[in-house]
Amino acid sequence: MKYPVILLFLLISASAFAQKSEKPLVQFTGVTRNSDSTKVIVPYVNVTNVTEHKQVYTANYEGYFSFVAHEQDTIRFTSVGYAPVTVVIPANVTNKSLIKNIDMKPQIINLPVFRVFPWATTDEFRKDFLEKKIADDDLEIARKNLSFASIHALEATMPRSGAEIFNAQDMHNNIVNSHSITNPLFNPFAWGSLIRDITAGDKSSSN
């Protein structure tokens, strides 16, 4: 009983192989493109012949591929970021050559929102929250800007205005003039006082 079963299995396998080998060969050629814009090439797409024990080919950097397959073989195109495309080679291909461009649709996957917090536990969050410095309001900001320390710091860094420079120079000139010593020889009032003193001295001498 054992040998007839093995013989029957071999016959079935040989028949299936013969039927499969009877399928004509086809040169399958094409270019992988973006379905949203046919001018955009999708490079390095994996091309898998599912029928032929998952034989794998790869399109080049220009999206071009070309390989030999059988009629009615199932071909699968896959690439990261694009939805898979499955193509079945039709029967009775003319000239044993099939040229077909593969349009691949971009696949957008919306991932769920993931929030990263710097606190390992709720106790750490509570501690940081209680120690957090609250931002100043408008009144507090104005009080700090008008404080003596802030104004003094601004005075030390801000340049002088034109009016301040003029007033300082005028004050400097007044101080210099008030402390300057003038020559009495060039003062007519001093000469008059000198003559009066000399006259008064002569009169006192005669008396």
pLDDT of 206 = 60
Sign of the torsion formed by the C-alpha atoms of 148, 152, 158 and 161: positive
Written as one letter, the residue type at 46 is N
Contacts by 52-59, CB closer than 8 A, 24 or more apart: 59/31, 59/32
Any idea what the Cα angle at residue 205 is, between residues 199 and 207, rounded to 5°? 105
Q: Which CATH number fits domain 2-104: 2.60.40.1120, 3.40.50.150, 3.40.50.300, 3.30.420.40?
A: 2.60.40.1120
Q: Tell me what percent of the residues of the chain surpass a pLDDT of 70.
A: 79
pTM over 0.75: no
Q: Which of 3-12, 54-63, 128-137, 188-197 has the highest mean pLDDT?
A: 54-63
Residues 203, 207: Cα–Cα separation, whole Å: 6
Q: Which residues pair with 25 in a beta bridge?
A: 70
Contact between 55 and 70 (Cβ < 8 Å): no
Torsion of CA 7, 9, 10, 16, to 10 degrees: 150
Intra-chain end-to-end CA distance of the chain, in Å = 182
Name which residue leads in pLDDT, 1 or 52.
Answer: 52
pLDDT of 18 = 47
Residues 122, 136: Cα–Cα separation, whole Å: 27
Q: What is the mean pLDDT of residues 154-177?
A: 78
Q: For the chain, which residues make up each domain, given as ranges? A: 2-104
pLDDT of 21 = 54
* Residue 26 CA: distances (Å) to CA of 56, 77, 115, 123: 16, 17, 53, 69
pLDDT digits 0-9 by tens, 59-95: 999 999 999 999 999 999 999 999 999 999 998 888 8
Q: How many CB atoms lie within 10 A of CB 100?
A: 13
Q: How many CB atoms lie within 10 A of CB 137?
A: 9
Q: What is the mean pLDDT of residues 118-139?
A: 81
Sign of the torsion formed by the C-alpha atoms of 106, 107, 110 and 114: negative
